[in-house]
Amino acid sequence: MTFLAADLHNFHDVFRPLPATDGRFISFEGIEGSGKTTQIRRLEASLKAQGLEVLCLREPGGTPFGEQLRQAILTQGEPLDPMAEAGLFVASRAQLLKEKILPFLHGQPRHVVLLDRYLDSTLAYQGHARGRPVAPLWAMHQFAPLNTLPHTTFFLDIDVETSLARQAARGNQKDYFEARQRDFHQRLAEGYRALAKAHSERIVTVDARRAEDLVFADLSAALRARGVL
C-alpha cells in the first residue's frame, strides 16, 4: 500500500500549502474519541487571545451543501462503496474550500482556519480502514481547490481501547462509522500512523491518551517550533 501517492510522481508540484502571504491552515485528525473538538476549542481561545482571527470548521459540513451531505452519510444504514463515500466527502471538501477556507485566508496572514478533519480522514477511513489503496484518493484531490495542503496537521493518536472507552462513556447513539467493528478502528489507527510517518513534514503526532492540558501544551509548542504562528 502506498501512502506517498507514488503514482503522482509530481506530488510536490501538485499538492502545496498556501503561500506565506495568506493565513494559516491547520487540520486535526484522529480516530473517534481522540479529543479533537476539545483541543480545537482551546486553540481557538488561545489564538484569539493573541489577536488572531480564527475560523473553526468541520468536515463533512461547514456549508449548507456540506451539512446536507453530512446528514446523508452519517444516517446511512448499509455500508456504501468506499468510492461513493469518498466522492461525498470530497464534494463537501471542495465546496468548503471554495466558499469558506480560501476566501477567509486569502491575503490575510493573521487569519487562521482550524479544521476538524480534512483529506487525511478520506485516506484513512475510505482507504486504509477499508483495505483500499490511497493513490486513487490522492488523485481525486489533484485539482484546485482540492490540492491545498494544510500548513500543519495534528494527528491526535489514541489506541482503540481508549477510543472505545471514551465512546462508551459518552453514551451517544453510534453513527455510520462508529458502528463499525473493532478491526475497522484498528486499521484506521494504523492507517493514520502510517500516514503520519509518510508525511512527517506536515503531520505532527501527539499522544492524545494523556490529560487534556498536556496535549494542548504539545500542540502549542509544535506550532511555535514550526513557525506556523
Chain residues binding ligand TYD by CB under 6 A are 32, 58-60, 74, 89, 116-117, 121-122, 125-126, 175, 177
Instruction: Report the residue number, 122 or 148, with the smaller CB distance to ligand TYD.
Output: 122
Q: What is the closest distance, in whole angstroms, from the C-beta atom of residue 89 to ligand TYD in the complex? A: 3
φ, ψ of residue 111 in degrees (nearest 5): -100, 140
Q: Minimum distance between the CB of residue 9 and ligand TYD, rounded to whole angstroms? A: 24
Task: Supply φ then ψ for residue 152, to 5 degrees.
Answer: -145, 140
By C-beta, is 108 or 184 nearer to ligand TYD? 184
What's the min distance (Å) between Cβ of 225 and ligand TYD?
Answer: 26
CA atoms of 218 and 229, how far apart (whole Å): 14
Q: Closer to ligand TYD at the Cβ: 110 or 170?
A: 170
DSSP string spanning 35-52? Answer: -HHHHHHHHHHHHHHTT-
Q: What span, in angstroms and rounded, lies between the C-alpha atoms of 94 and 65?
A: 11
Q: Report in angstroms how near the CB of residue 74 gets to ligand TYD at its nearest.
A: 6
Q: Which residue, 50 or 68, has its beta carbon nearer to ligand TYD? A: 68
| Closest distance of CB 21 from ligand TYD, Å | 28
- Return d(Cα 160, Cα 181) in angstroms, integer: 11
* Cβ contact 172:222 at 8 Å: no
Between residues 84 and 221, which has the closer beta carbon with respect to ligand TYD? Answer: 84
The Cβ of residue 185 has, within 10 Å, a number of other Cβ atoms equal to 22
